[in-house]
């Protein structure tokens, strides 16, 4: 079951989304919000798989609101303005729906999110791949291909062996939860490493792929446990 909420400054738009969700058996629309602040408090407190999020809102547009979230949550943007489509996909939106919303298009967008969530859950279970959205695509990355992951504000940089680096919207905590333990270790607030790729550990640093990465004081105990 997909746990969803909807955010829109127009109550009628929320009623429409609620009615559409009732027609899809695997979506549980738990709450609707006209207040962005209330929605953010809810997201900070409860697990949310999917946001239906209006772009054009008075205090803060939906894209900026989504960028401000620390949790990794799927989003389907809703708007009456097609010119926002490119910007929506630039923040790795799962989909983009134009108002007025047709049920067929709505169902298609939600089905795509369902497939993405299932792929991510399955990849975590088998512990062989990391599934994550980057560059407008859903990537299924073999874990042994990943060298390390570096934090970049609201994004992460996935550095791979002999392949292009990927940049994805995620928190470090969010992506670490998708990786099998203890195969990957967070050594610093800005770095997660693939243990099998580590070349040496020195006082205060880890050597990997020819680079020296700092060890954060908070993570020293975990490093000792994983590499001893």
The Cα angle at residue 73 between residues 144 and 66, in degrees rounded to 5: 120
pTM: 0.63
pLDDT exceeds 80 at position 22: yes
128 DSSP assignment? S
Encoded tokens for 212: 């020296």
What are the pLDDT digits (tens) for 63-82? 888 888 877 789 999 988 76
Cis amide prior to 100 (ω within 30 degrees): yes
Encoded tokens for 224: 């000792």
Any residues with CB less than 8 A from the CB of 212 and at least 6 apart, and which? 202, 205, 206
The arithmetic mean of pLDDT across residues 18-31, rounded, is: 97
Q: Which residue's entry shows tokens 């299932």?
A: 118
pLDDT exceeds 70 at position 195: yes
pLDDT-derived band at 92, boundaries 50, 70, 90: low
The arithmetic mean of pLDDT across residues 97-101, rounded, is: 91
Any residues with CB less than 8 A from the CB of 138 and at least 6 apart, and which? 116, 119, 131, 132
pLDDT exceeds 70 at position 89: no
Instruction: Give residue 106's pLDDT.
Output: 97
Determine phi and psi for 108, rounding to 5 degrees. Answer: -60, -45
């Amino acid at each position: 079951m997909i746990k969803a909420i909807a955010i829109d400054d127009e109550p009628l738009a929320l009623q429409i989304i609620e009615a559409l969700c009732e027609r899809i058996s695997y979506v549980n629309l738990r709450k609707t919000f006209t207040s962005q602040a209330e929605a953010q408090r809810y997201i900070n407190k409860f697990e949310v798989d999917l946001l239906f999020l209006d772009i054009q809102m008075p205090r803060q547009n939906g894209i900026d609101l989504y960028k401000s979230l620390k949790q990794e949550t799927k989003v389907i943007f809703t708007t009456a303005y097609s010119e926002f489509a490119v910007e929506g996909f630039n923040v790795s939106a799962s989909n983009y729906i134009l108002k007025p919303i047709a049920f067929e298009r709505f169902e298609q967008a939600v089905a795509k999110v369902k497939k993405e969530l299932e792929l991510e859950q399955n990849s975590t279970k088998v512990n062989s791949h990391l599934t994550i959205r980057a560059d407008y695509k859903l990537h299924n990355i073999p874990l042994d291909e990943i060298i390390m992951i570096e934090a970049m504000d609201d994004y992460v940089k996935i550095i791979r062996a002999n392949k292009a680096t990927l940049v994805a919207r995620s928190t470090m905590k969010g992506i670490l939860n998708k990786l099998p333990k203890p195969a990957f270790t967070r050594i610093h607030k800005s770095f997660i490493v693939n243990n099998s790729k580590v070349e040496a550990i020195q006082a205060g640093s880890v050597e990997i792929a020819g680079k020296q990465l700092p060890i954060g004081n908070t993570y020293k105990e975990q490093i000792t446990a994983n590499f001893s």
